[in-house]
Structure 1
Amino acid sequence: MKKVSFRRSLFKLHSWLGLITGIFLILLGLSGSVLVFRTELDHFFNRDLLHVSSLEKTVPDQVLKNCYQTVISRYPNLDGIAWVNPDAGAGEAYNFRIYFNDARLMTYDLALISFDPNTGVILREGPASQFTPSFIEWLFQFHFSFQLGIPGAALTAIFGTTMLLSLLTGAIVYRKMLWKVLSFRVKINRKNWRTISSDLHRIVGVWSLLLNAVIFFTGFWMNMFAFKAKTWQNEMASTKANTPISVSPDQMYRRALSAMPDLEPTYVYLPTQPGRKFEVRGYTKGQLKLWGSGNSVRMDQQTGEILQISRFAEKPLGERIEATFFPLHVGNFGGLAVKILYVLIGLTPGLLAVTGFLLWWRRVRK
């Protein structure tokens, strides 16, 4: 009797978790599926906007410096600037993420600006809270904050935990079905919409269980910053005026690559505040992308001195495990096949929410 009562309570919890958060899980899943091909879609839909001129004479030694000076002249109070595609090929625009602060809690302060590296011409510019720079950039910010600032980032983290609870309770409630589904002994009964939704809910839930658990846990973990009091305090404080770097960023970039010759950069941080440091991050040649871009070179932007050379292999075990969370969340570690799998998995929370609702509605009608 107690077993039945416990299972019934778990089933109710499983149902209500899905009903309460269903619409949000649909939005997170759909946006996540699109963002798997974030870079490719941005290039495809903005190929005319991001057209780069072909010039015989360029000034590569000054490209970063020119872009940096343009940004700080347009935004006098910044938290920082990041060159987010240092791995851009020939003929591609240089994309920079701008970190600013409007001292409002309900806005997440990111912007995007893209340059033609040959001419220094701005190709696009705007906050990620608008469609102006790119719909994909807007969707990226929506995915982790619902465009609701720090409270929104905390909300998505909470939904990550509710999904994990939903997966756990579902696995316990349907534990006798796990092996049957995995051994292909459960088929979809097409008798009516009730049997279809019931079997589909079980089959999809079982096959997507592990990867959904990984995705939602890593999403929760990466948004844990939204639960820190300091994060909320910083968001409400106005950013101080820029303190420009003294050493040419192009010079520091080349020196960082010389200090770590096997580094394949994916991110370059250009500080605008004295407490931050110039940093180049990326993979090392031959490294599995699953381990993340945990290699870096940090430098003092006022003197050009190398402060730290950090390699992924030398980091503590906990940091190495944490470095895998971003690749595991976005699916950028295994080529096209893995990306397609992540797109399909991203659709499953919505499908589970819909079929779960149909099952709940059937019981209500009864």
Structure 2
Amino acid sequence: MSFRAWYAVHKWTSLVSTLFLLMLCVTGLPLIFSHEIAHLTGASVEPPALPAGHAGQANIDAIVADAQARRPNDLPQFLVAEADEPELVYVRMADRIDSEGLTAFYTYDARTGAFLSEYPLGQGFMDLMLRLHTDMYLGLGGTLFLGFTGLLLAASIVSGIYVYGPYMKKLRFGTVRRDRIARLKWLDQHNLLGMVTLVWLLVVGLTGTINALNRPIFAAWQATELAALAAPYRERPAVTGALAADAALRAARAAHPDKSLSFMAYPGNGFATPQHFVAFMNGNTPLTSKLLSIVMIDARTADIVASAEMPWYVSTLMLSQPLHFGDYGGMALKLLWALLDVLSIVVLWSGLVLWWKRRKVTAEQKLASLRGVPIAVAE
């Protein structure tokens, strides 16, 4: 491709995506620290200290019964756990077992069964940031559009490398011409910070695109692998009445003693079958804690009827989600992610400023200026 073509790709992919990418960087900054902010604001709670010598786990059925009593017209959809907080267990409630939305999200002490808190759904600053970052309040269409901007970002970065190449022939890498006109200083700073954040922007852009495919990816898994597991039981009637979630969870843990519960779907949910619980288990190492194995448990007998690993495309999604927010290396990586996020905001904003100031300059004039040929540009 010619310089003119690379310049056009860089210009238009940047212009189309920059405003949305700025929004994503600004909203993504607090989301990097979502866990810490949730605890600071009281949206999430710390597990209480127990007397020395206390051991054991609460009965899950008693926990679910308490959640059911709090919302008698709703149904439990999922039991949820966090690998880094084994003392807590969460119950997700909805108006229907197969509903995509939820009506309540309760936190319980997994050791005593005590109710601890109800997460404030659809409220507060963090909920606003999350919705803007994931779908701009536009549902799946908004999510897919933001995923597309991640691809535009990748095209902008690759073309930007080629456009930046001629500068490397004239200037030492990292040079900022502070003694020249303001526009050149802005350009040098934009190029320098763009190169510094290049790899990070590619990572978060591509992982953001993968994350935007969350629903289609799980829909594909439900239509293929889960449907195949459920096929032998298609003629059996759906289970009804009280369900022994505690026995099902104990069976899943016994089958995978080296793993922890991520979440368990109730029968009739889109992540389970009408006759089975499906427990999603993750490992106990930094890498395997992001990957899922599934255990299908008969809801009547608590017998395990199938176990399987998630397919590669679901594993790719599960690995990309924490990487997108720097949730692999503790606080140190989160701070690095935050710094790179701020630098990226500067890159995006300076790119807008440069376009506004030089929107009448052609690609040929820009190339001529890089070769040292003077051009006349209006301020």
TM bracket, shorter-chain basis: 0.7 to 0.9
Q: Where does 1:156-305 land on structure 2 (aligned, <5 Å)?
A: 156-176=146-166, 185-191=173-179, 193-224=182-213, 246-265=242-261, 267-271=262-266, 273=268, 276=272, 277-285=276-284, 287-289=285-287, 292-305=290-303
| Residue 130, structure 1, aligned to residue 126, structure 2 | no
Residue 29 of structure 1 corresponds to which residue in structure 2?
25
Distance (Å, rounded) in 1 between the aligned partners of 2:286 and 2:23: 31
Distance (Å, rounded) in 2 between the aligned partners of 1:301 and 1:179: 68
Residue 109 of structure 1 corresponds to which residue in structure 2?
101
Distance (Å, rounded) in 2 between the aligned partners of 1:193 and 1:360: 14
| CA displacement 1:260-292 (0-9 Å, x = unmatched) | 111133x1123252661533334434x342772
User: 8 Å contact 1:98–1:112 — kept in the other structure?
Assistant: yes
User: 8 Å contact 2:74–2:93 — kept in the other structure?
Assistant: no
Q: Which moved more, 1:158-167 or 1:329-338?
A: 329-338
| Length-normalised TM-score, structure 2 | 0.72
User: 8 Å contact 2:67–2:91 — kept in the other structure?
Assistant: no
User: 8 Å contact 2:39–2:46 — kept in the other structure?
Assistant: no
Q: Which moved more, 1:290-299 or 1:163-172?
A: 290-299
Alignment coverage as a number of residue pairs = 334
Tell me the CA shift for residue 174 of structure 1. 1.6
Tell me the CA shift for residue 363 of structure 1. 0.9
Tell me the CA shift for residue 28 of structure 1. 1.0
User: 8 Å contact 2:78–2:265 — kept in the other structure?
Assistant: yes
Distance (Å, rounded) in 2 between the aligned partners of 1:58 and 1:247: 25
Distance (Å, rounded) in 2 between the aligned partners of 1:200 and 1:214: 21
Residue 81 of structure 1 corresponds to which residue in structure 2?
78
| Length-normalised TM-score, structure 1 | 0.74
Distance (Å, rounded) in 1 between the aligned partners of 2:50 and 2:241: 29
Distance (Å, rounded) in 2 between the aligned partners of 1:168 and 1:79: 47
Amino acid at match of 2:21: L
User: 8 Å contact 1:72–1:78 — kept in the other structure?
Assistant: yes
Amino acid at match of 1:85: E
User: 8 Å contact 1:38–1:136 — kept in the other structure?
Assistant: yes
User: 8 Å contact 2:282–2:292 — kept in the other structure?
Assistant: yes
Q: 1:195 to 1:334 in 2, by over 3 A?
A: same
**Residue segments in structure 2 that go unaligned for 5+ positions in a row:** 221-237, 360-377
User: 8 Å contact 1:331–1:342 — kept in the other structure?
Assistant: yes
SS in 2 for 1:338: helix
Q: 1:153 to 1:318 in 2, by over 3 A?
A: closer
User: 8 Å contact 1:111–1:125 — kept in the other structure?
Assistant: no
Aligned-pair Cα RMSD in Å: 3.9
Tell me the CA shift for residue 160 of structure 1. 1.5
Residue 121 of structure 1 corresponds to which residue in structure 2?
115
Amino acid at match of 1:189: R
Distance (Å, rounded) in 1 between the aligned partners of 2:294 and 2:167: 46
Distance (Å, rounded) in 1 between the aligned partners of 2:346 and 2:331: 23
Residue 339 of structure 2 corresponds to which residue in structure 1?
344
User: 8 Å contact 2:80–2:89 — kept in the other structure?
Assistant: yes
**Residue segments in structure 1 that go unaligned for 5+ positions in a row:** 232-241
Q: 1:210 to 1:251 in 2, by over 3 A?
A: same
User: 8 Å contact 1:95–1:112 — kept in the other structure?
Assistant: no
Residue 236 of structure 1 corresponds to which residue in structure 2?
none
Q: Where does 1:5-84 land on structure 2 (aligned, <5 Å)?
A: 6-46=2-42, 50=45, 60-62=57-59, 64-72=60-68, 74=71, 76=73, 80-84=77-81
Percent sequence identity over aligned pairs: 20
Residue 234 of structure 1 corresponds to which residue in structure 2?
none
Q: 1:86 to 1:9 in 2, by over 3 A?
A: closer
Distance (Å, rounded) in 2 between the aligned partners of 1:115 and 1:227: 29
| CA displacement 1:126-157 (0-9 Å, x = unmatched) | 43x332xxx43443343211222122212211
Tell me the CA shift for residue 99 of structure 1. 6.1
| Residue 145, structure 1, aligned to residue 135, structure 2 | yes
SS in 1 for 2:137: coil
